[in-house]
Amino acid sequence: MCGTTDSDNFSSRRFPVLLGDQRSIWLGVPDSIPWATISPHEHQARANHGQSLEILAQRGGLSPYELLAVLLDQPFWRCSLPEPATVIKKLKEECQASKASARAVPSAPNRRIEAGIRRKKAHSLVRRARDIEYSSTRADRSVLQRNQCRPS
């Protein structure tokens, strides 16, 4: 499905796909995908599973459903799962898109990751500013209350 050569990606590493005893359902899904296909989506893998891609790979990888959710940068949906044929089609599309973008712009995955980091930092800075503002107004109020309660 996602056959690549060494010149198509930056590494020959592969990320495993958990098929287990359901291989008959997942005809057309490979045992693994190129690491370059999933590495730009590490942030979503951490959000969905609380683990890095390295650890997930060591533990056997992801199921096709979980893998598709990570590749589409979506939370893992546990209730209404799409049909296996739909998942296989989407996985193929994602692999093809990954190959095409790797050839066109080699640093595209890095840009996506950097944009996510910038968003998280900005959100963190806004939250920190609110906390500082809130704590300073609380401190001001407590000083005023202490001064008002003192007998003159």
99-123 pLDDT, tens digit each: 777 665 545 566 666 666 666 666 5
Residue with tokens 């044929």: 85
| End-to-end Cα, the chain, rounded Å | 83
Nearest by Cα to 37 from 59, 70, 64: 70
Of 7-11, 41-45, 83-87, 144-148, the range with the lowest mean pLDDT is 7-11
Nearest by Cα to 64 from 80, 83, 49, 51: 83
In this predicted model, what pLDDT tens digit does every residue of 126-145 receive, in sequence order?
A: 566 555 555 555 555 555 55
In this predicted model, what pLDDT tens digit does every residue of 87-105 receive, in sequence order?
A: 888 888 888 887 777 665 5
Look up residue 37 and give its two tokens.
Answer: 């296909």
Look up residue 43 and give its two tokens.
Answer: 């942030």
